[in-house]
Amino acid sequence: MIKATGERTIMDLCISELVKLKGDERKDITTHGIIYNVRDMGDFAFVILRKVNGLIQCVYEKDGSEEEKSILKIENCVKVTGDLRDEPRAVNGIEIVVKNIKVLSEPKEELPFSINKYKLNIALENEMSIRPIVLRNEQRRSIFKLQEGLVRAFREYLEDKDFTEIFTPKIVANGAEGGANIFKLEYFGKKAYLAQSPQFYKQMMIPIYERVFEIAPVFRAEKHDTARHLNEYVSVDFEMGFIESFYDVINMETGMIKYAFEYLKKNYSVFLKKLNVQLPEITDIPCIRFKDAKEMVAKKYNRKIKDPYDLEPEEERLIGELVKEEYGCDFVFVTHYPVKKRPFYAMDDPENDKYTLSFDLLFKGLEVTTGGQRIHDYDTQVKKMIFKGLYPEDFESYLMLHKYGCPPHGGLGMGLERFLMRLIDEKNIRATSMFPRDTSRLVP
Amino acid sequence: MIKATGERTIMDLCISELVKLKGDERKDITTHGIIYNVRDMGDFAFVILRKVNGLIQCVYEKDGSEEEKSILKIENCVKVTGDLRDEPRAVNGIEIVVKNIKVLSEPKEELPFSINKYKLNIALENEMSIRPIVLRNEQRRSIFKLQEGLVRAFREYLEDKDFTEIFTPKIVANGAEGGANIFKLEYFGKKAYLAQSPQFYKQMMIPIYERVFEIAPVFRAEKHDTARHLNEYVSVDFEMGFIESFYDVINMETGMIKYAFEYLKKNYSVFLKKLNVQLPEITDIPCIRFKDAKEMVAKKYNRKIKDPYDLEPEEERLIGELVKEEYGCDFVFVTHYPVKKRPFYAMDDPENDKYTLSFDLLFKGLEVTTGGQRIHDYDTQVKKMIFKGLYPEDFESYLMLHKYGCPPHGGLGMGLERFLMRLIDEKNIRATSMFPRDTSRLVP
């Protein structure tokens, strides 16, 4: 009988193991990879393999046979045996002198473009349809390694601060954020929706775990196709109890972002380099009131204020520009948004009930986070729901939170794709979503 | 101007900080929590606070006032100042002698049941409706701490084995698993579905990252309400390239589970203890062929084989029993499932094309994982789609994987709630989903 022990079975070596080999260990090593590039040098060829964590160079002595041509095809999956040697000009400083290449599987067709170029020269609109192959490019795949790096860093930071990770349902009975941008669903004869955010659930968890987070998909049926909207995106959500003010939330996020940049610098420098990313330097992030921010921009750029209740994208961009110029910072917290534009769970500012104790974080002039302090008192919450035209009886289970006791708390939701888009200076959010969903795109 | 630095602002101490204090540091400490229990001892009361990572005991000297009664209410959120001292009989070996309690917020109503009992004595059906408050119970909240622990362990293991974490869309154009159990969705005038699994996407990533994983919600419109089905659950998915056989996948999972149990023992012992969990001991996991397993059970328990193509739940239970008895193991891999019951992407067994190179993992007689080797050759995949009654032209972007080259690969999907349910010996899967979704339940 076969028994699974959990011991390693695939004995082929990965790059981090190859670079550590010394002396006789370097003889007759075996590894595998996908042929990413072949550079013909006459008598021999450099064969570059794409492996789990990067590229490795192989030196292949040619014999000019037909068989050889079919072996050295781009995107062939191969197993290689050979001797390892130092080669300072190669990536990782090593190369394999090939003794044998075995083809494990081969493509049916050649790729419709050159995968191994630095600039792919494919329009984003066309790229979207062939993402499964475009991401085989070293620069493209680096984008989503950075996505992974950000998520790992955020998690590590939040875990260290005693946040509990939760998993909340995405099929829900009512939306948390209000408005029409919600997807409807047939659910065993009942009407259901796709969660716009885990808002209700993370708040419910506050009296249970005090601090919680979730990194998961959320769904917005936004009808406008823009360069900064997706209909499905990954939301980095956290919520924390016993806060003294929403500045505690702002501070937690500031710490999280600083940590993430340090983390990327330490662990993802290869991918940062591949994409020429300059990490922003942050010591602190300025906080400017919504009203003041609007006025500063109107004055400095000689603009009229059209909508006093919200920031236009252009205003956000200019606030970012202004803050960069005056404070040298790529980030700015805009605080105290008007009641009119914030959801029913936002706490009013006791000093001026036209405003809320809430904030957005702008990163290079783009909103990447929305957060604030939430109402924790039952009567206040019920009153505000009614003020907002909602029926408290529709929110019975959510209101258990307030009815049975809940500490002062607040939190935020950050759009992962937007954050990454700003970090790597991409102009369209579709560049930082592996398989973006917009009003016209469901495939792949 | 306020500037956010990311430095800690809430200065109240958490339990792990309190236990470390020595000498004069123990005087006049401040902490916060929610009143979980009050034990009246005459002149004084033990006030037990629920905090982010557990409970802490406070000693409160009574004065018999009315104000005192309103302070010492269950589920009050309070801030406490006082002196810390050793008390071996208290949890964590310390207690706070209270000098001052300040109520930060109080419930509108008393809880409809006693939250601080070991056995809550609420029927599961009733509990589901009041989950937001039931989870305030120490035992209940421990369940989802173990969920977190499993996820952290799985991730840590997979990251260490060079798996890349990915985020794939949940709104999709077609189902990966076939069958009728798929939720339909109106998507800007087009028909869309909720992903039954990330299968297509994780396979597409194989030539890009070689090894990938995702831990995220999946959706199944199963019409039958059973104790082991949910309509939305968390799937632990991984996929790995360059395998030599599906036993490489089995081995990876075995290693992952062993790692997770070690991890829980080391980091989550408090919660294991609260729920009286005995972690299974595993050295290796037996692998039995589907056909043999069916025959072994038929023979040993004197049963007739009704359906030769699938395992009935009762058969799974008996295989679990048999393996426990004969091999002393809570787990068993059942391998080589019939082609008829496996999806179109499963690779046929070259030795017998009625069977596939696939497996299920049973944990105490319940299927918790399905996996196997996938087809990587384009022509073979197209042929099998047609054999299964599908139209290859519906899967154009998925088939780019096979068309443009892909190494031999395989993977699996594990149901997190099922795994946890078996681990803590719960009989109904609703116990291990925070807010379960079944055919009749959408709220909370």
Delimit the domains of chain B by residue range.
15-105, 134-432
Shortest CA distance to B204 belongs to which of B63, B12, B397?
Answer: B397
Half-sphere exposure of B429 (CA within 13 A, CB side): 21
H helix count then E strand count, chain B: 14, 19
Query: What are the b/e assignments for B137-154, b being 16+ CB within 10 Å?
Result: bbebbbbbbbbbbbbbbb
Going through A41-188 in order, the beta strands assigned E by DSSP cover 44-51, 54-61, 77-86, 94-105, 164-165, 171-172, 184-187
Optimal mutation site among A141, A150, A185, A292, interface B, most CBs of chain B within 10 A: A185
Share of chain A above pLDDT 90, in %: 96
Q: Closest to B244 (Cβ–Cβ): which among A3, A10, A244? A: A10
Shortest CA distance to A411 belongs to which of A149, A166, A150, A171?
Answer: A166
Instruction: State how far the Cα of B370 lies from the Cα of B250, in Å rounded to an integer.
Output: 10
Q: Please name the residue of chain A whose CA is at the shortest distance from the CA of residue B444.
A: A397
Tell me the pLDDT band of A77, cut-offs 50, 70 and 90.
Answer: very high
Are A77 and B107 an interchain contact pair (Cβ–Cβ within 8 Å)? no
Are A4 and B287 an interchain contact pair (Cβ–Cβ within 8 Å)? yes
Both tokens of A73, joined, read 């095809």
Q: Which residues of B touch A169 (CB under 8 A)?
A: 217, 232, 434-435, 437
Q: Tell me the sheet residues that pair with B80.
A: B31, B101
Q: Closest to B255 (Cβ–Cβ): which among A6, A194, A396? A: A6
Tell me the pLDDT band of B110, cut-offs 50, 70 and 90.
Answer: very high
Phi/psi at B156 (5° precision): -60, -40
Instruction: State how far the Cα of A359 lies from the Cα of A355, in Å rounded to an integer.
Output: 11
Rounded average pLDDT over B372-385: 98
Cβ atoms of A75 and B241 closer than 8 Å = no
pLDDT over 80 (residue B177):
no
* Helical (H) or strand (E) element with B39: strand B29-40
Q: Closest to B285 (Cβ–Cβ): which among A3, A257, A402? A: A3
Tell me the pLDDT band of B174, cut-offs 50, 70 and 90.
Answer: confident
- Domain B15-105 sits in CATH at 2.40.50.140
Are B108 and A232 an interchain contact pair (Cβ–Cβ within 8 Å)? no
Give residues 413 to 432 of B whose Cβ lies within 8 Å of A: 416
Rounded average pLDDT over B293-303: 96
Rounded average pLDDT over B355-366: 98
Rounded average pLDDT over B258-268: 98
- pLDDT at position B236 is 98
Write the pLDDT tens digit of every residue in B391-443: 999 999 999 999 999 999 999 999 999 999 999 999 999 999 999 999 999 99
Rounded average pLDDT over B178-205: 94
Q: Closest to B401 (Cβ–Cβ): which among A132, A219, A257? A: A132
Shortest CA distance to A52 belongs to which of B193, B161, B345, B270?
Answer: B161
Give residues 157 to 216 of A whose Cβ lies within 8 Å of B: 159, 162, 164-173, 183-188, 190, 192, 194, 200-201, 204-205, 207-211, 216
Phi-psi region of A134 (alpha: psi -120 to 50; beta: other; left: phi over 0): alpha
Mean pLDDT of chain A: 96
- pLDDT at position A311 is 95
User: CA of B41 to nearest chain A CA: how many angstroms apart?
Assistant: 25
Residues in chain B, total: 444
- pLDDT at position A179 is 77
C-alpha A436 chain-centroid distance: 12
Write the pLDDT tens digit of every residue in B24-44: 999 999 999 999 999 999 999
Residue B62: burial class (beta carbons within 10 Å; 0-12, 13-18, 19+): middle
**Which of A23-27, A52-56, A314-318, B153-157 is least confident?**
A52-56
Write the pLDDT tens digit of every residue in B302-329: 999 999 999 999 999 999 999 999 999 9
- pLDDT at position A295 is 96
Instruction: State how far the Cα of A334 lies from the Cα of A341, in Å rounded to an integer.
Output: 14
Residue B286: burial class (beta carbons within 10 Å; 0-12, 13-18, 19+): middle
Radius of gyration (Cα) for chain B, nearest Å?
Answer: 26
Rounded average pLDDT over B250-268: 98
Q: What 8-state DSSP symbol labels residue B27? A: T
Which strands make up the sheet holding A2-4, listed edge to edge? A2-4, B285-289, B331-335, B358-363, B366-374, B409-415, B232-241, B211-219, B164-165
Instruction: State how far the Cα of A53 lies from the Cα of A272, in Å rounded to an integer.
Output: 14
- pLDDT at position B69 is 92
Are A231 and B408 an interchain contact pair (Cβ–Cβ within 8 Å)? no
Write the pLDDT tens digit of every residue in A377-424: 999 999 999 999 999 999 999 999 999 999 999 999 999 999 999 999
Instruction: State how far the Cα of A277 lies from the Cα of A332, in Å rounded to an integer.
Output: 20
Instruction: State how far the Cα of A132 lies from the Cα of A136, in Å rounded to an integer.
Output: 8
Instruction: State how far the Cα of B196 lies from the Cα of B180, in Å rounded to an integer.
Output: 11
Instruction: State how far the Cα of B320 lies from the Cα of B328, in Å rounded to an integer.
Output: 10
Both tokens of A254, joined, read 């500031």
Write the pLDDT tens digit of every residue in A254-312: 999 999 999 999 999 999 999 999 999 999 999 999 999 999 999 999 999 999 999 99
CATH architecture for residues A134-432:
2-Layer Sandwich (3.30)
pLDDT over 80 (residue B179):
no
Cβ atoms of B382 and B372 closer than 8 Å = no
- pLDDT at position A258 is 98
- pLDDT at position A224 is 85
User: CA of B49 to nearest chain A CA: how many angstroms apart?
Assistant: 11
Contacts of B347 (CB under 8 A, 6+ apart): B246, B356, B357, B358, B372, B373, B374, B375, B410
Cβ atoms of A435 and B169 closer than 8 Å = yes
C-alpha A137 chain-centroid distance: 19
Both tokens of B104, joined, read 């930060």
Shortest CA distance to A379 belongs to which of A394, A392, A362?
Answer: A392
Q: Strands B3-4 and A2-4: what pairing?
A: unpaired
- pLDDT at position B224 is 85
Identity (one letter) of the amino acid at A353?
D
Rounded average pLDDT over A217-238: 96
Rounded average pLDDT over B160-168: 97
Tell me the pLDDT band of B73, cut-offs 50, 70 and 90.
Answer: very high
Q: How many CB atoms lie within 10 A of CB A424?
A: 18
- pLDDT at position B86 is 97
First to last CA, chain B: 42
Got the DSSP string for A133-170?
HHTTSHHHHHHHHHHHHHHHHHHHHHHHTTPEE----S
Write the pLDDT tens digit of every residue in A93-144: 999 999 999 999 999 999 999 999 988 989 999 999 999 999 999 999 999 9
Cβ atoms of A119 and A80 closer than 8 Å = no
- pLDDT at position A176 is 75
Share of chain B above pLDDT 90, in %: 95
Instruction: State how far the Cα of B200 lies from the Cα of A181, in Å rounded to an integer.
Output: 28
Q: Please name the residue of chain A whose CA is at the shortest distance from the CA of residue B54.
A: A209
Asked if B246 reaches chain A (Cβ–Cβ under 8 Å), the answer is no
Q: Strands B331-335 and B285-289: what pairing?
A: parallel
Cβ atoms of B368 and B361 closer than 8 Å = yes
Rounded average pLDDT over B344-363: 97
Instruction: State how far the Cα of B145 lies from the Cα of B271, in Å rounded to an integer.
Output: 7
Phi-psi region of B389 (alpha: psi -120 to 50; beta: other; left: phi over 0): left
- pLDDT at position A278 is 96
Write the pLDDT tens digit of every residue in A154-194: 999 999 999 999 999 999 998 777 777 999 999 999 999 99
Asked if B12 reaches chain A (Cβ–Cβ under 8 Å), the answer is yes
